[in-house]
Amino acid sequence: MVGLRIIQRGSGNIEDSELAQPQVTQPRRSTVMQAVNDDMDNEVSFSVSGSFSVQAGAFYSRRNAMSFKERVEDVTNTRANVINEGDFFKVRISGIPTRRTAERYKNVLAQEDISSYIIEHR
């Protein structure tokens, strides 16, 4: 069971300058993950450069994950990644420098009935 508590509802528009264009800081450490690109047969590696990520979904189907990725990008107005971990394709916004910014992404997703959670990279 997953619970969600909305602290504050907004207009749904992302106009906050920190959320629209997050400031990138030096990471505590870099994590390499497998990301899936739009070409169904190719995978690429990328480095998570921020301390936080927001995961909005996990799918068995790569196609479903790619479709959901587009929805997350439309809602948040930022780039999301599909990461292949084991049997799952996970939709994440990665490289978020602060917990506060990650919480803002999470709240924007919640306004569109998209549940998500914050991952802290250590």
Interval 18-57: pLDDT, tens: 444 443 333 334 343 444 444 444 444 444 456 999 999 9
Q: Which CATH superfamily is domain 29-120 in?
A: Sporulation related repeat (3.30.70.1070)
| pTM exceeding 0.85 | no
Residue 54 or residue 1, greater confidence: 54
Distance between CA 101 and CA 116 in Å, rounded?
A: 14
Residue 66 pLDDT level (bands cut at 50, 70, 90): very high
Judged against a pLDDT cut of 90, whether residue 115 lies above it is answered with yes
pLDDT of residue 27: 39
3 state SS of 24:
coil
Which residues fall within 8 angstroms of residue 59, CB to CB, at 6 or more apart? 65, 68, 88, 89, 90, 91
> With the C-alpha atoms ordered 58, 64, 69, 75, is the resulting torsion angle positive or negative?
negative
Average pLDDT of 93-98?
A: 95
Judged against a pLDDT cut of 60, whether residue 109 lies above it is answered with yes
Tokens of 114: 């998209």
